[in-house]
Amino acid sequence: MTERQELISVVIPSYNRADRLPACLESVLGQTYRNIEVLVVDDGSEDGTPALFEELRDPRLRYLRYTPNRGACYARNYGAERARGAYLAFQDSDDTWRPEKLEKQLDFLKETGADLVFCGMRRIPEQGEPFYYPVHGFHPDSALADFLAENRASTQTMLMKRLVWEALRFDESFRRYQDWDFGIRAAANFRLAYLPQALADSAVGGDSISAAVKSYPALVHLYEKHAALYAACPAADAVMNRRMGLRIRQTQPRQAAAHFMKSFRLSRKWYDLAYALSCRLRAK
């Protein structure tokens, strides 16, 4: 088997996505890199998902199912445990890939000598124009600091050597920001490379106040898990506290003020102080 023939395993967790899964599978099975296996992990769907696989006959496709629903991280680990490939990629069941994604990423991974490569993607909001993600760039010589400050790699943009997943696995305590957590740990332990091309398309919901507030506990969980790393990287620590403060400044101004003050002490940015004073006034 030549290097170009190495097997890539694609793991797709799915829960009640029978309406969107066919388009996702078409984009994955239509990859220009043909030596793949695709493991769809049905995370206890109740919408007739099993019926889809009574008609799909591609020999590269494997359908795995269990009940009850256990979450996307459990499903990703479940699929990866059963994968046979030397490389692993993860796709979301409601997203699509460009046909050349895996081929370009594998070539780039080998070219750079990286353990994990991630690409850009086109995010498609419910309203407004599509935009490129990640918003900010990536610097291999400061990979950990970059990932601590901001997530750069959504799960569906990653291609990795199997040994990366074996060392890290997905943290099943996360229901949100699991890709960010994985990226931080990967940056701390492996060599990462960034291919700045939008090779995935992903629909995203609106950024409402309620959605921002709901994301706050997940941010705190991420921050507390990696507290030692943030303490060693003051610039990223400031950014993270600012982000947490912004999430709750309209609903929990007193707590938000504490985040902004910590960010100000670390960053000495005037706007952090302004945020903190504004929240303190609102809390009175």
Q: Are residues 54 and 129 in the same domain?
A: yes
Of the chain, the percentage scoring pLDDT greater than 70 comes to 95
CATH number of the CATH domain containing 46? 3.90.550.10
Q: Are residues 186 and 248 in the same domain?
A: no
Q: Are residues 110 and 228 in the same domain?
A: no
CA–CA distance, 113 with 7 (Å, rounded to integer): 18
pTM of the shown model: 0.94
Range of the domain at 142: 3-204
Residue 97: DSSP 8-state: E
Residue 244: other Cβ atoms inside 10 A: 23
Q: Inform me whether the pLDDT recorded for 213 exceeds 70.
A: no
Q: Are residues 200 and 213 in the same domain?
A: no
**Strands 116-125, 158-161: pairing kind:** antiparallel
What is the SS3 assignment for 195? strand
* pLDDT reported for residue 212: 60
Q: Are residues 218 and 154 in the same domain?
A: no
Of the chain, the percentage scoring pLDDT greater than 90 comes to 89
Task: Name the average pLDDT for the chain.
Answer: 94
* pLDDT reported for residue 5: 79
Q: Are residues 183 and 44 in the same domain?
A: yes
Distances in Å between the alpha carbon of 66 and those of 13, 107, 166?
11, 35, 22
Q: Inform me whether the pLDDT recorded for 49 exceeds 70.
A: yes
* pLDDT reported for residue 140: 93
Q: In the listed set 158, 177, 204, which residue is the last one of a domain according to the structure?
A: 204
Residues 6+ positions from 79 with CB-CB distance below 8 Å? 9, 11, 12, 13, 39, 41, 64
* pLDDT reported for residue 206: 53
Q: Inform me whether the pLDDT recorded for 209 exceeds 50.
A: no
Q: Which of 17-31, 47-61, 106-120, 258-272 has the lowest mean pLDDT?
A: 47-61
Q: In the listed set 204, 237, 261, which residue is the last one of a domain according to the structure?
A: 204
Question: Residue with structure tokens 């949100």?
Answer: 176
Q: Are residues 135 and 64 in the same domain?
A: yes
Q: Are residues 195 and 214 in the same domain?
A: no
* pLDDT reported for residue 67: 95
**Total domains in the fold of the chain:** 2
Task: Name the burial class of residue 196, with classes exposed (0-12), middle (13-18) and buried (19+) by CB atoms within 10 angstroms of its CB.
Answer: exposed
Q: Are residues 200 and 219 in the same domain?
A: no
Residues 6+ positions from 198 with CB-CB distance below 8 Å? 98, 119, 120, 121, 122, 132
Query: Side chain identity at 38, as an amino acid letter?
Result: V
Per-residue pLDDT tens over the stretch 110-156 = 999 999 999 999 999 988 899 999 999 899 999 999 999 999 999 99
What average pLDDT does range 225-246 have in this prediction?
A: 98
| Phi and psi, residue 34, nearest 5° | -90, -25
Q: Are residues 122 and 44 in the same domain?
A: yes
- Stretch (H or E) spanning 131: strand 131-133
Q: In the listed set 147, 180, 204, which residue is the last one of a domain according to the structure?
A: 204
Distances in Å between the alpha carbon of 211 and those of 93, 125, 155, 215?
21, 14, 20, 6
Per-residue pLDDT tens over the stretch 249-276 = 999 999 999 999 999 999 999 999 999 9
Report the largest interatomic distance among the alpha carbons of the chain, rounded to a whole angstrom. Answer: 70
- Stretch (H or E) spanning 18: none
* pLDDT reported for residue 110: 97
Q: Are residues 213 and 188 in the same domain?
A: no
pLDDT interval class at 188 (50, 70, 90)? very high
- Stretch (H or E) spanning 188: helix 178-189
Q: Are residues 214 and 180 in the same domain?
A: no
- Stretch (H or E) spanning 230: helix 227-231
Question: Would you state the structure tokens that stand for residue 195, as one six-digit string?
Answer: 């291919």
CA–CA distance, 164 with 185 (Å, rounded to integer): 10
* pLDDT reported for residue 4: 54
